[in-house]
Amino acid sequence: MQSFQEYAQKHEQPLIKDSLRLLQVNMGYKCNLQCKHCHIEAGPERPEQMSRAVMDDCVRFIERAGITEVDITGGAPEINCELPGFIGRLRQENLVQRILLRTNLTILDKAEYAHLPEFFVRNKVELVASMPCYLEENVEFQRGKGVYAKNIAVLKRLNALGYGKNGPQLHLVYNPGGGSLPGPQQELESAYKENLRTAYGITFNSLFTITNAPIGRFRTQMEKQGQLDHYIKMLADNSNAQNLAKVMCRNMVSVDWQGRLFDCDFNQALKLPMALLDNYIGRIRREDIENRLIETGTHCFTCIAGTGSSCQGSLAV
């Protein structure tokens, strides 16, 4: 099988960092769940958490680089006690047009984090909520027993606060339960909306379909099933060269809990940092990042297979 680099070269579309627009901030790998498909291998025992000092350097980078969009992830980013201060500063200083936060929903069912949805509404934070299926058995297969009921309860509360209605945007995320590509995003979105509305009266704005990367726990799962090589070959065989121009890594940079820079969150999970003389966000300029080759590997077939995949869903829409 040809490498991703060979594939991109064959189609004369090398991956180069274009105009930087988005900073994805990983608040740390601690999470209340241990999901089977998690590429970052987050969980309750992970100690890594971004400090206030690193967040301050992220804010300064956002300002000097002219970043317009911040995507906050983890782990469960809500666990980091410095999260509200980070979001508040972005809004108070009017630094970005858009703030997204990735949530597993169940964390917001815990008493110590129950105040956060109101805070998110006040600061116009869009929520990207993991909901791997609208059916209980499929959600609990990936995320654990009892997760589905908590998801539904939190989604109802978010709707009551205006999310998915007249308030900030609410997006749900679908991941396949196994080694397959996601179905068509618009069709899945329609099915989600119909089922959640009919069964629970829940509404949301859009569905993001995201292909599972052969990294972390999902890779381990595929290896145990003897399906890893088949899965990687399936991704490569279904590659769509048109997606090379659309991949998210062209316009984003990912920063880990220590302030180190990566081309994407998958590269962060693989400990494949940007090849820079100084890789710390507090000492980086926009011009250090743009117009340089993106670090790639076999896992990059994940993002160009089929209709394409990004942190904000299919590349075909």
Map tokens 């959640």 to a residue: 196
pTM: 0.96
Per-residue pLDDT of the chain (317 residues; tens, 9 = 90+): 789 999 999 999 999 999 999 999 999 999 999 888 889 999 999 999 999 999 999 999 999 999 999 999 999 999 999 999 999 999 999 999 999 999 999 999 999 999 999 999 999 999 999 998 888 888 777 777 888 999 999 999 999 999 999 999 999 999 888 889 999 999 999 999 999 999 999 999 999 999 999 999 999 999 999 999 999 999 999 999 999 999 999 999 999 999 999 999 999 999 999 989 899 999 999 999 999 999 999 999 999 999 999 999 999 86
How big is the chain, counted in residues?
A: 317
- What b-and-e string marks burial along 22-36, b requiring 16 or more CB atoms within 10 Å of the CB? bbbbbbbbbbbbebb
Cβ–Cβ < 8 Å for 108, 78: yes
Report how far residue 213's alpha carbon sits from residue 221's, in angstroms, rounded to the nearest whole number.
Answer: 12
Alpha-carbon gap, residue 212 to 200, rounded angstroms: 28
What is the model's pLDDT at position 30?
97
Q: What's the pLDDT score for residue 317?
A: 66
Residue 42 · residue 30 · CB < 8 Å: yes
CATH topology of domain 4-304: TIM Barrel (3.20.20)
Cα–Cα dist 234/236, whole Å: 5
**3-class secondary-structure state, position 163:** coil
From CA 149, how far away is CA 60, in angstroms rounded? 40
